[in-house]
Each structure stands twice: as structure tokens, then as C-alpha cells.
């Protein structure tokens, strides 16, 4: 029997359906390119008929990636299958993935169909899909709660109709590993034409058993695993790709199975997902969490130092996790800094390097250890927008804040060599300092969104502030990092304000110098506005 497990990634379909994980087309393409670099065998790129946006992203991914099979999901309906085929047909290796529920519960309550009618519909759908595409997968939705004899009849019939992969999902995350193992063995032993198709697992994590169930299915003879990066997906998510792959790799002795995944691309893939979606990976997450390879206890540290195998079952390098311990400090020179940039794959010219080094030195004065994540944040900060000659820059600020009092801010900005200082008050230090900026630049704007996040752990961490502001020329995003969150807030606001002023200046010139209406700040406070 073939000992290679096909990794079917559904991050862009099942994963993207989860709240908070939606991605635009460009983001999906970026993710798809990384999945190709990771070495996944199949990318489920979306559900083509769900919306025009879904259709377009499946089509773009199908045209973009070369090595993996590109699949679109579709119900067992002619119009769904047509849409799926239209979306994937330009792929080097297209697949149509169609599905129909087979459990009595779904048949009676959802589809209102008899078992025989559902079997006929499944066969028709597979046959129709095979008329278009040589690679057809059929899923028996809610397989784990489907009658075992009926399951064998459906599997045999869809294989006879041309299905090349048959998926037996635990759609609602209800089954246990023993049940999955028995379910797969039953099909492997009883379906006469089973050697003509690959059996697939698709397990959900409602009871925290998705990976255990997937591995049980593979051990029983399944050879495709459907999974998502970081285990994202509907409800509690799908089986995590990195856990299945490292389970197979680390316990090769037990499973005797391999995959085509380049494991050292695992951590970069998880980090890209985090960066695109903005959803943080839990520190304790297996394989890719920040603590997955951290040894805090003295006993463990001693053991790992004498022989890593005492407490490490796999190396951080094998999954692409770099050593994030102390990398640089205040005594590091520009040479060491430049080397680190190089290792991080950051390419900058000499002028930008000098500017970054100055920012690094300023940070090292305030923060004991500077990690890779800090450097990446600095680079994004310094190179996000090349400071224009006529930009406002921050010279100084002072804020006071306390219980039962207004917060006051005094901010000094510089533009074209000229300094301007303003004071403002508000309900908090962020409010008052942003208002002082607004008074200096003499241009009012709305604060639509404000987010702050620590770049690394511990108290001296950099704070990364992201703001979204708007005026009648549009919406502008700004980003600023500092060990002081008020400084980060002012920097992110200036980052956005400078872009806004460029545009409003251009608009004013275009309209023959329309007057910029000066806002009366004190009115706001009286009428109870909390932001502008």
C-alpha cells in the first residue's frame, strides 16, 4: 500500500469561513503561494458558487499555483458543479470536490430524501463532474454518524461512477479515534472497488479530537488528510495541518507514513496566517505557539542543555522556528545588526540601514533585549512610508492623566524646520494627545479604529499601535511602535495624518484651494463627542 499521505489544505475554504479569518483576494493569493512553498498536495481554494468574490479567488489561485492540485467545493447540484469547474479549469491540476450528506439525521431533517434517492443523487453528481474533470472527490457529509452498511453502498457506487477520492468526514466533531478507526477499516475491508480511490479524513475539533481522529483514520488506511493551518475552521476548527504532519514525522516509527510537506516552512506559514488575519496564535499552541519550544523550568533547561532529546521530541529548526532568545542588546554594533537583518531576509540600502540602526539603538536603550520580532516591527515602522520632506514629525510630548480628571497633553511637532506646540485635553491620554496633533496640523479627522498590541512578551515590550482615520478625502491607516504607548499612538496618528494631508492638499489644489474648515475642539468636549 502507498505510504504517502496527501495533505489537503482547506485553510482558504473551511478555515476562511470561521469568524475573524476572512481574507481578500490578494491575501488569499499570498497564502496560496505560501501553501505551495510548504508543499501541500491539494489546496481547497474556496466554494466557487458561494459568491462572485469566492469564484474569483478560486480562479485566481487556480491560475497562480503550479504544483498543488486546486479544488473547489460544490454541492451535488449541476449549477454548483458547473461553477466549481469554471473556477478551477485553468489550474495545472484541477479537482472538483462535491458532497452530499449521508446520515439519516441529515437526510430526514435537512435534505428530506430517502437513502436510495441520496445515493442516486451522489452518483449523478460524481458522473457529471467526471464528465468535466478527471480528478473528482466525493464527501459523505456527516459520515461518522452514517449507517455503516449504507456507507459501504455509497462509497462503492461513487467510486464506480468515477470518484478518485472519497472523503469520510466527522463533520460535527462527534466521533472518537476508535470509532473513526473502525469506520475506515469497515470501508477498506468491505468495499470491493476501494483500491480505485483514496480515502480521506476531514475531522472537526468540537471535542478536541480532530487530530487524534485524523491520525486514527490514516492508521486504518486513509491516505488523504484534510486540515487547516493552525487548525482554524468552522466552530472549534479543523484538524491542524502542522500537528498531523509533525505527528506523522515524529512518530514515523509508529505510523510508517510520510508526507510531501517541507516541515521547515510550517512556522513561516502559521506566521503569515497570523499576519494576514491579525488573529494571534495562542502561546501554548502545539508546534507553532510562542511557548512550543520554550523551556522555562530549571530542570528542563538543564536537561535540554546536556542533551536536547531529554525534553525535546522534535527540534525547533525542523519546523522553521528560529531561536528567539536574546539576539541583540545595546552593545551590539552596526555590523551585528546588519547581519541579523540579512538573516531575517530583510534587504535595505545603506541609508535605510543607518536609519534602522539608529532606531534599534534607541530601542535597545529602553528595552533590555531586542528580539527578531522587535526588529521586524522596527523595519515595518521605519520603511512603512518614506518620510516626505514636508511631513510632520514628533519632537516632544508630555501627558498627564489620572482618576477623576481630564487628561492633558502638550505635543510639539516639527515641519519644514518649524516647531509648533499645542495643548489639548480629553477623557484619556490617547484622546488628548491625538487632539493636540489635530490642533497643530489644523485639519480635523475622525478616529475610526484604534488597536494596540504588544510585539513581544514582558513589561518592556514594544507596543504596536494601529489607527484608522478618515476625512472627506478617504480612509487612512497608520502604524507606530514604541515602548511608550502614547508615543506609539502619536506616531501612528502622524503616519496616517501625513498621508491624509498629502491627499487633501492635492484635492485642494484640484478644486482651486477649497478652504479647510477648522474644527472647534472645545465644542466636542461639551457635546460629549469622545473622538474625532
14 binds Mn ion (CB under 5 A): yes
Interface mask (CB under 5 A) for Mn ion, residues 178-217, using x and -? Answer: ----------------------------------------
Task: Measure the CA–CA gap between 67 and 34, rounded to whole angstroms.
Answer: 12
**Cell numbers linked to 167:** 472523503
Window contacting Mn ion (CB under 5 A); options: 8-16, 89-97, 451-459, 506-514: 8-16
User: Minimum Å distance from CB 213 to Mn ion?
Assistant: 13
Listed ranges 10-18, 193-201, 318-326, 384-392: which one lies at the site for Mn ion (CB under 5 A): 10-18
Nearer of residues 44 and 422 to Mn ion, judged by Cβ: 44
Do residues 85 and 96 lie in contact, with contact meaning Cβ atoms separated by under 8 Å? yes
Q: How many residues bind Mn ion (CB under 5 A)?
A: 1
Stretch that binds Mn ion, among 6-14, 412-420, 466-474, 516-524 (CB under 5 A): 6-14
Cβ-based neighbour number of residue 32 at 10 Å? 25
- Please give the Cα distance from 467 to 449 (Å, whole number): 5
Residues 109-138 that bind Mn ion (CB under 5 A): none
Cell of 410: 502638550
Please say which residue, 41 or 265, places its beta carbon nearer to Mn ion: 41
- Span from 9-17, 212-220, 266-274, 361-369 in contact with Mn ion (CB under 5 A): 9-17
The Cα 246–Cα 261 span in angstroms is 10
Q: Which stretch binds Mn ion (CB under 5 A): 14-22, 174-182, 261-269, 523-531?
A: 14-22
Give the nearer residue to Mn ion in terms of CB position, either 31 or 465.
31
Least separation, in Å, of the C-beta of 233 and Mn ion? Answer: 6
Q: Is 371 in the site for Mn ion (CB under 5 A)?
A: no
Which residues neighbour 199 within 8 Å (Cβ) at sequence distance 6 or greater? Answer: 165, 166, 167, 168, 184, 187, 188, 217, 221, 222, 223, 224
Nearer to Mn ion, 14 or 135 (CB): 14
**Integer CA distances (angstroms), 327 to 191, 324, 363, 372, in order:** 58, 7, 13, 7
> Which grid cell sits at 439?
490642533
CB of 169 to Mn ion, least distance (A): 6
Residue nearest to Mn ion (CB): 14
Burial class (CB in 10 A: 0-12, 13-18, 19+), 351: exposed
From the list 141, 18, 32, 127, the residue with the least C-alpha distance to 88 is 32
Nearer to Mn ion by Cβ, of 14 and 36: the residue is 14
Instruction: Name which of 231 and 426 has its Cβ closer to Mn ion.
Output: 231
353 alpha-carbon distance from chain centroid = 29
- Least Cβ distance, residue 13 to Mn ion (angstroms): 8
Minimum Å gap between C-beta 273 and Mn ion is 17
In the complex with Mn ion, the residue whose CB is nearer, 14 or 422, is: 14
**185 or 236, CB closer to Mn ion?**
236
Q: How far is the CB of 228 from Mn ion (least distance, A)?
A: 9
- State the alpha helices, DSSP H only, in 98-176: 104-106, 115-130, 148-160
Stretch that binds Mn ion, among 7-15, 177-185, 349-357, 373-381 (CB under 5 A): 7-15
- Cβ 238 to Mn ion shortest distance, Å: 6
Distance, in Å, from the CA atom of 168 to the CA atom of 203, rounded to the nearest integer, reads 9
CA angle 135-76-33, nearest 5°? 45
231 versus 478: smaller Cβ distance to Mn ion: 231
Residues in the chain: 532
Helix (H), strand (E) counts: the chain: 18, 15
Contact 95, 69 (CB under 8 A): yes
* CB of 200 or CB of 381, closer to Mn ion: 200
CA atoms within 13 A on the CB side of 228: 27
As measured in angstroms, the least distance from the Cβ of 154 to Mn ion is 19
Cα separation, 399 vs 288, in Å, equals 39
Residues 459-488 that bind Mn ion (CB under 5 A): none
DSSP-assigned letter for residue 137: E
The CB-of-184 to Mn ion minimum distance in angstroms stands at: 18
The CB-of-205 to Mn ion minimum distance in angstroms stands at: 10
243 binds Mn ion (CB under 5 A): no
Helix, strand, coil fractions of the chain, as percent rounded to 5: 45, 20, 35
Taking CB under 5 A as the binding criterion, the range among 13-21, 73-81, 256-264, 360-368 that sits at the site for Mn ion is 13-21
Question: Phi/psi at 301 (nearest 5 deg)?
Answer: -60, -45
Shortest Å distance, C-beta 17 to Mn ion:
8
Q: Smallest gap, in angstroms, from Cβ of residue 420 to Mn ion?
A: 57
Query: Among residues 14 and 243, whose Cβ is nearest to Mn ion?
Result: 14
* 215 versus 319: smaller Cβ distance to Mn ion: 215
Interacting residues toward Mn ion by CB under 5 A: 14
Amino acid at each position: 500500500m502507498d505510504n504517502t499521505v496527501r495533505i489537503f489544505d482547506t485553510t482558504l475554504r473551511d478555515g476562511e469561513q470561521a469568524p475573524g479569518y476572512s481574507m481578500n483576494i490578494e491575501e488569499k493569493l499570498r497564502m496560496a503561494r505560501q501553501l505551495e512553498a510548504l508543499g501541500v498536495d491539494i489546496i481547497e481554494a474556496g466554494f466557487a458558487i458561494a459568491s462572485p468574490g469566492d469564484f474569483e479567488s478560486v480562479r485566481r489561485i487556480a491560475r497562480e499555483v503550479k504544483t498543488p492540485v486546486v479544488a473547489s467545493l460544490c454541492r451535488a447540484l449541476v449549477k454548483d458543479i458547473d461553477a466549481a469547474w469554471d473556477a478551477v479549469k485553468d489550474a495545472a491540476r484541477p479537482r472538483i470536490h462535491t458532497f452530499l450528506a449521508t446520515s439519516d439525521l441529515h437526510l430526514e431533517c435537512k435534505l428530506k430524501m430517502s437513502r436510495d434517492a441520496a445515493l442516486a443523487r451522489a452518483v449523478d453528481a460524481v458522473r457529471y463532474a467526471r464528465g468535466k474533470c478527471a480528478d473528482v472527490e466525493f464527501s459523505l457529509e456527516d459520515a461518522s454518524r452514517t449507517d455503516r452498511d449504507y456507507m459501504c453502498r455509497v462509497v462503492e457506487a461513487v467510486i464506480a461512477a468515477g470518484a478518485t477520492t472519497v472523503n469520510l468526514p466527522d463533520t460535527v466533531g462527534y466521533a472518537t479515534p476508535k470509532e473513526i478507526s473502525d469506520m475506515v477499516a469497515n470501508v477498506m475491508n468491505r468495499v470491493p472497488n476501494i483500491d480505485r480511490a483514496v480515502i480521506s479524513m476531514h475531522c472537526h475539533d468540537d471535542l478536541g479530537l480532530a487530530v487524534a481522529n485524523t491520525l486514527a483514520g490514516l492508521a486504518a488506511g486513509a491516505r488523504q488528510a484534510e486540515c487547516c493551518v493552525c487548525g482554524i475552521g468552522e466552530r472549534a476548527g479543523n484538524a491542524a495541518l502542522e500537528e498531523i504532519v509533525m505527528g506523522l514525522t515524529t512518530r514515523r516509527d509508529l505510523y510508517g507514513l510520510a508526507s510531501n510537506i517541507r516541515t521547515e516552512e510550517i512556522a513561516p506559514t502559521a506566521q503569515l496566517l497570523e499576519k494576514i488575519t491579525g488573529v494571534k496564535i495562542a502561546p501554548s499552541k502545539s508546534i507553532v505557539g510562542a511557548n512550543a519550544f520554550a523551556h522555562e523550568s530549571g530542570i528542563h533547561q538543564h536537561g535540554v542543555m546536556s542533551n536536547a532529546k531529554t525534553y525535546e521530541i522534535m527540534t525547533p529548526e525542523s519546523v522553521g522556528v528560529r531561536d528567539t532568545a536574546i539576539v541583540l542588546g545595546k552593545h551590539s554594533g552596526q555590523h551585528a545588526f546588519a547581519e541579523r537583518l540579512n538573516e531575517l531576509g530583510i534587504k535595505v540600502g545603506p541609508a535605510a540601514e543607518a536609519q534602522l540602526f539608529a532606531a534599534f539603538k534607541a530601542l535597545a536603550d529602553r528595552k533590555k533585549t531586542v528580539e527578531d520580532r522587535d526588529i521586524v516591527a522596527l523595519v515595518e515602522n521605519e520603511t512603512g512610508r518614506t518620510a516626505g520632506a514636508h511631513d510632520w514629525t514628533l519632537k516632544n510630548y508630555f501627558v498627564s492623566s489620572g482618576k477623576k480628571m481630564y487628561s492633558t497633553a502638550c505635543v510639539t511637532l516639527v515641519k519644514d524646520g518649524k516647531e509648533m506646540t499645542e495643548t489639548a485635553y480629553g477623557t484619556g491620554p490617547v484622546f488628548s494627545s491625538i487632539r493636540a496633533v489635530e490642533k497643530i496640523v489644523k485639519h480635523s479627522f475622525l478616529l475610526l479604529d484604534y488597536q494596540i498590541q504588544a510585539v513581544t512578551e514582558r513589561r518592556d515590550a514594544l507596543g504596536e499601535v494601529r489607527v484608522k482615520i478618515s476625512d472627506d478625502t478617504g480612509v487612512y491607516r497608520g502604524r507606530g511602535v514604541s515602548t511608550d504607548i502614547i508615543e506609539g499612538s502619536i506616531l501612528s496618528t502622524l503616519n496616517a495624518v501625513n498621508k491624509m494631508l498629502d491627499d487633501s492638499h492635492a484635492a485642494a489644489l484640484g478644486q482651486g484651494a477649497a478652504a479647510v474648515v477648522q474644527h472647534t475642539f472645545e465644542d466636542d468636549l461639551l457635546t460629549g463627542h469622545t473622538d474625532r
